[in-house]
Amino acid sequence: MNPSPSHYRQHVFFCCNQREPGGRVCCNDAGATRLRDYAKQQIKKLGLAGKGRVRVNQAGCMERCEEGPCLVIYPDAVWYTYRCEADIDEIIDSHVRNGDVVARLRLP
d(CA 98, CA 94): 5
Of 15, 7, 2, the closest CA to residue 75 belongs to 7
CB of 21 to ligand FES, least distance (A): 14
Q: Which is nearer to ligand FES, 62 or 101 (CB)?
A: 62
The answer to whether 10 contacts ligand FES (rule: CB under 6 A) is no
Sole binder of ligand FES in the list 49, 62, 78, 102 (CB under 6 A): 62
CB of 57 to ligand FES, least distance (A): 14
Sole binder of ligand FES in the list 17, 54, 72, 92 (CB under 6 A): 17
Whether 18 and 29 have beta carbons less than 8 Å apart is answered as yes
* CA atoms within 13 A of residue 42's CA, in its CB half-sphere: 18
Instruction: Describe the chain by its helix, strand, coil percentages, rounded to 5.
Output: 35, 20, 45
Q: Which is nearer to ligand FES, 15 or 39 (CB)?
A: 15
The answer to whether 64 contacts ligand FES (rule: CB under 6 A) is yes
The answer to whether 12 contacts ligand FES (rule: CB under 6 A) is no
